[in-house]
Amino acid sequence: MKTTKIITLIITLLLTATSFAGDGSTYQSLGFSKDGKYFAFLQDGEEDGSGFYYVSADVIETQTNKLIKRESIVGDEIEYVYEDDAYWSNPEVRKAHQDKVKKELFKRLDFEKYGLDKPVFGKTLISRNQYDKSEYTSTGFTFNEWPMGGTSASHQTYSLTLNTPSAPQESVADYCWDTFDVKMVDLKLIKNPNYQDEKEVLTLQQDTRLPASRNCTFKYWIVGVESLNDTYISVILRYSTLGFEGPNERVMAVTAKIN
């Protein structure tokens, strides 16, 4: 009994010591195609555990919110520089390596095929960086640049509501289910939320199962909204998932044609 208690205590201490490890990716918009048909974004960071640089990018068909292409690379696939002291001590050496990895990623993405080789960057309606840990599950925006009220009161407004229902057990790996209440995405856009007779609710994404790419995800929050021609939008969500040494943060995009 005494031995069991000691082992339990050691495990608890180890889990506590690593609870703030993990890694968080940095988000970069790669813009819309000129016709608004596609949206792309990039995320990169240093791997939890190894410290290796990683980068990935998604191409999404905006109207259907369908993932068309995803490419991911870990830096050691291109060159192994991680035992070189200069990589860790010299920012220029590190940047050169990261740029080389990104260059290979873009080559694999074939952006010209999707009209993303000459992307269009529309309006950034909401932007919260990775240092903002406020867990926004609802937020609002408008395409109108005037202050609300007065003559601008008639301009259309939009509200986003993010719910995170629990994932069905059969779609979650056993090691996740035993550790977390694993969550899915239910994201809705409400047009004119303040006017009952004009109110319109659009479901942007409603998971019924958890995709393998988001296994062990236990939290989501809204960090950005981008638009093109006040017609196409991309809602950026950050989410927490089980990592090697602690929770990792990753980014996903939910797209739609709303006007």
Q: What confidence score (pLDDT) does residue 193 get?
A: 79
* pLDDT value at 1 more than 60: no
Domain membership flag for residue 43? yes
Q: Are 253 and 235 in contact (CB under 8 A)?
A: yes
Containing domain of residue 225, as a range?
21-257
Domain for residue 3, yes or no? no
Res 11 pLDDT > 50: no
pLDDT beyond 70 at 5: no
Domain contains 1: no
Average pLDDT, the chain: 84
Question: Regarding predicted confidence, which is higher, 7 or 121?
Answer: 121
Alpha carbon distance 191, 21 (integer Å): 40
Partners of 253 in beta bridges: 236
The pLDDT value given to residue 181: 87
- What's the whole-number mean pLDDT along residues 67-83? 92
pTM value is 0.84
Task: Give the total residue count for the chain.
Answer: 259
Beta strands in the chain (DSSP E): 26-32, 38-46, 53-61, 66-74, 123-127, 138-142, 157-163, 186-191, 200-206, 217-228, 232-242, 247-257
Counted domains in the chain:
1
Residue 229 maps to a domain = yes
Q: Is the pLDDT of residue 131 over 90?
A: no
Structural domain includes residue 2: no
Is residue 137 in a domain? yes
